[in-house]
């Protein structure tokens, strides 16, 4: 069987689906979406109590502008200004496309799309349709693509990218990343003679399918398979390692986001889950010896409850919110809650739960603080007797959502941990979302690393939709497609029959635990170096017989590249920033930078904010087998000529 298309889309999340639709609208019909499953991936399987979509303000009398929105992105640090401007400039177009597809974003009687403030948001740009915003985006896009009869092939796992590499130039002063032109991709495909579900990961026969393409839209999501404690859906592993292995340039890989999430059913416990002020309980592994462990750190019962409330809209772990003066200062230090959960779960080996059935010790109007009380009062929930009662009043869908996944928080506690949630970094691309070093490769969605240290909540969804528009436009403007230019060596080759034993399961667990320990939100140089040594040893030993062991090989490569990037960041003296803090046993005289982890004092290294003006680039060189890191100055926000007649004249050309 031979297969070649003009543009191949790998992945079927909100970004990949949108790219297929935009390509079709731009007259590119010879396309194919290749995916493991339309029901897999992060977009269609995740959410939060009120999943946010970030866009330009479209309501009220508060001034907003494209430039202002670009500055919000840019001010997060380590983000290129031209990317910030592109994401802002195309925000309304991307959002209105979703509206026209039927997404019921709230609008008032005059058609103004109302909004609210989210984290790192100076305006009221956030909007939502409830817990499942990204899922409904996917469903609407799938309906439209099916209506247009856009080809979709499920049951494919990307094995490798096909690239014609350029001749290497002599490297004089510094190493440079490889460059080349994309030619397609190879996939694992379940052999027709193997019966059973795609999710049967021990199936013993796989074929290799090759699909040649002039362009590849790489929309495979974030590194979901890297961490043991993760809020990424279990069905989503990610495939950034496939591109890293091929030498694609990446940027800002250390900038991940972590936060509290339930682990029985993976879900962020943000928003109202925290604003109703539940009790934090820890137990032994068997559920015995329950205690309200936050009280261990309080000067009096209930002193820390304002921090619990603040976790509702300060949900991601934030290195800037780990400073406590004289014990606790209200409205400051909410990320200490994440650290105390870590102490219980990791250092003490206990389990942590949220109990919505009873108020935490010391719960009172005075102790939760005026900000929390006023919020609950406006929500008509202040006088309700339990967190469950308040949650039923403010967000009953949240209770039902867990019930739909066989967790009844009316009668049982909800187990949580600090989990990996999002990677701001990823593959590096230009303002058309084309790879900086692999021509014709368009990384979009979370696999793209456009964002820096901080980003507004919901901006990743905006970025993916904007990327789809920009990438499709660039592809449509490209050279005409000639199928004869493809080689005729496309085949479907059966792999040797190999039974994937449980070894791949143990290997996967081992690497995830290692990455959680070394590359999580608490980072130490010695831990990272030890993990890197272990990773390199495992890479030398791994067997890549079938699909799952190949996936492990790519996860190991991903782990190695990410850990090298984190080590380089620490060696450079960046310090604590974003959603991670850097720890050292060397304690200075500055007590504000000292925290206690299960009785041991450690120093938190402060951020060197100079590095916010730089972007960290990383690549694996497939020819030399080396990993290279470097800092490049970030590009400023452009100030283009916006005089109408001039732009009109250029457009007509």
Q: What is the pLDDT of residues 379-408, one digit of tens each?
A: 999 999 999 999 999 999 889 999 999 999
pLDDT value for 653: 78
Between 143 and 201, residue with greater pLDDT: 143
pLDDT, mean over the chain: 91
Give the helix/strand (H/E) hosting 242. Answer: helix 240-245
Q: What's the mean pLDDT in 497-524? A: 83
pLDDT tens digits for 237-292? Answer: 999 999 999 999 999 999 999 999 999 999 999 999 999 999 999 999 999 999 99
E strand spans, 361-413: none
Q: Which of 184-198, 240-254, 347-361 shows the lowest mean pLDDT across its residues?
A: 184-198
When computed from its CA atoms, the radius of gyration of the chain, rounded to whole angstroms, is 25
pLDDT grade, residue 591 (50/70/90)? Answer: low
- The residue assigned the tokens 């070894």 is 503
Tokens found for residue 564? 């090298």
Burial 432-471 (b: 16+ CB within 10 A, else e): bbbbbbbbbbbbbbbbbbbbbbbbbbbbbbbbbbbbbbbb
Q: Which of 233-247, 314-328, 467-481, 495-509 shows the lowest mean pLDDT across its residues?
A: 495-509
Q: Which of 220-234, 475-489, 623-637 shows the lowest mean pLDDT across its residues?
A: 475-489
Between 476 and 330, residue with greater pLDDT: 476
Tokens found for residue 174? 């510094």
Q: What's the mean pLDDT in 589-616? A: 88
pLDDT tens digits for 20-64? Answer: 999 999 999 999 999 999 998 899 998 888 899 999 999 988 899
The whole-angstrom separation of Cα 190 and Cα 481 is 30
Q: Which of 176-185, 277-286, 582-591 shows the lowest mean pLDDT across its residues?
A: 582-591
Q: What's the CATH fold of domain 258-421?
A: Flavocytochrome C3; Chain A, domain 1 (3.90.700)
Hey, how many other C-beta atoms are within 10 angstroms of the C-beta on 258?
27
DSSP state, residue 452? -
Residue 197 pLDDT > 70: no
Ramachandran region, residue 563 (left: φ > 0; alpha: ψ -120 to 50; beta: rest): alpha
pLDDT value for 489: 43
User: Residue 34: which residues within 8 A CB-CB, separation 6 or more?
Assistant: 8, 9, 10, 153, 156, 158, 185, 187, 211
């Amino acid at each position: 069987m031979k297969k070649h298309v003009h543009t191949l889309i790998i992945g079927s999340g909100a970004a990949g689906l949108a790219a297929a639709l935009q390509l079709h609208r731009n007259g590119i019909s010879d396309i194919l979406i290749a995916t493991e499953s339309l029901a897999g991936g992060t977009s269609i399987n995740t959410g939060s109590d009120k999943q946010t979509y970030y866009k330009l303000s479209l309501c009220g009398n508060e001034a907003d502008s494209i430039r202002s929105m670009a500055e919000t992105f840019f001010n997060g640090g380590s983000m290129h200004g031209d990317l910030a401007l592109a994401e802002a400039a195309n925000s309304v177009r991307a959002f209105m496309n979703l509206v026209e597809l039927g997404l019921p974003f709230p609008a008032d009687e005059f058609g103004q799309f109302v909004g609210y403030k989210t984290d790192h948001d100076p305006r009221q740009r956030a909007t939502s349709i409830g817990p499942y915003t990204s899922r409904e985006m996917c469903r609407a896009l799938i309906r439209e693509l099916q209506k247009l009869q856009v080809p979709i092939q499920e049951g494919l796992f990307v094995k490798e990218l096909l690239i014609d590499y350029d001749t290497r130039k002599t490297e004089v002063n510094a190493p440079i990343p490889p460059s080349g032109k994309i030619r397609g991709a190879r996939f694992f495909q379940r052999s027709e003679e193997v019966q059973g579900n795609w999710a049967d990961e021990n199936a013993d026969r796989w074929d290799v399918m090759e699909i040649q393409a002039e362009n590849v839209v790489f929309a495979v999501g974030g590194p979901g398979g890297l961490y043991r404690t993760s809020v990424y859906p279990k069905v989503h592993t990610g495939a950034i390692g496939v591109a890293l292995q091929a030498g694609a340039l990446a940027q800002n890989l250390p900038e991940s986001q972590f936060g509290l999430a339930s682990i029985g059913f993976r879900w962020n416990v943000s928003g109202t889950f925290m604003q109703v002020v539940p009790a934090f309980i820890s137990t032994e592994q068997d559920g015995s010896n329950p205690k309200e462990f936050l009280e261990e750190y309080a000067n009096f019962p209930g002193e820390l409850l304002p921090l619990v409330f603040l976790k509702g809209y300060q949900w991601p772990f934030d290195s800037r919110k780990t400073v406590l003066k004289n014990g606790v200062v209200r409205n400051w230090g909410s990320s200490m809650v994440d650290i105390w959960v870590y102490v219980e779960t990791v250092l003490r080996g206990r389990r942590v739960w949220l109990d919505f059935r009873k108020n935490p010790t010391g719960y009172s109007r005075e102790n939760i603080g005026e900000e929390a009380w006023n919020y609950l009062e406006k929500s008509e929930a202040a006088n309700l007797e339990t967190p469950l009662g308040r949650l039923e009043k403010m967000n009953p869908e949240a209770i039902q959502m867990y019930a739909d996944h066989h967790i009844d928080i009316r009668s049982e506690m909800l187990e949580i941990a600090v989990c990996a949630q999002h990677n701001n970094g990823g593959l590096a691309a230009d303002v058309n979302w084309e790879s900086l070093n692999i021509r014709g490769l368009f990384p979009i969605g979370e696999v793209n690393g456009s964002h820096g240290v901080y980003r507004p909540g919901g901006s990743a969804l905006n970025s993916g939709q904007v990327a789809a528009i920009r990438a499709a436009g660039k592809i449509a403007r490209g050279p005409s497609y000639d199928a004869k230019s493809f080689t005729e060596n496309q085949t479907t080759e059966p792999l040797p029959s190999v039974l994937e034993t449980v070894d791949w399961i143990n290997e996967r667990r081992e690497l995830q635990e290692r990455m959680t320990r070394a590359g999580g939100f608490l980072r130490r140089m010695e831990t990272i170096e030890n993990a890197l040594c272990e990773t390199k040893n495992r890479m030398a030993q791994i067997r890549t017989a079938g699909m799952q062991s190949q996936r492990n090989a790519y996860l190991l490569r991903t782990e190695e590249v990410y850990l090298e990037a984190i080590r380089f960041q620490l060696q450079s003296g960046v310090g604590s920033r974003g959603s991670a803090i850097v720890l050292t046993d060397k304690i200075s005289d500055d007590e504000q930078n000292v925290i206690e982890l299960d009785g041991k004092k450690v120093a938190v290294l402060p951020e060197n904010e100079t590095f916010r003006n730089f972007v960290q680039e990383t690549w694996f060189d497939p020819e030399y087998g080396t990993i290279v890191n470097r800092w490049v100055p970030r590009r400023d926000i452009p100030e283009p000529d916006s005089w109408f007649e001039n732009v009109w004249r250029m457009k007509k050309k």
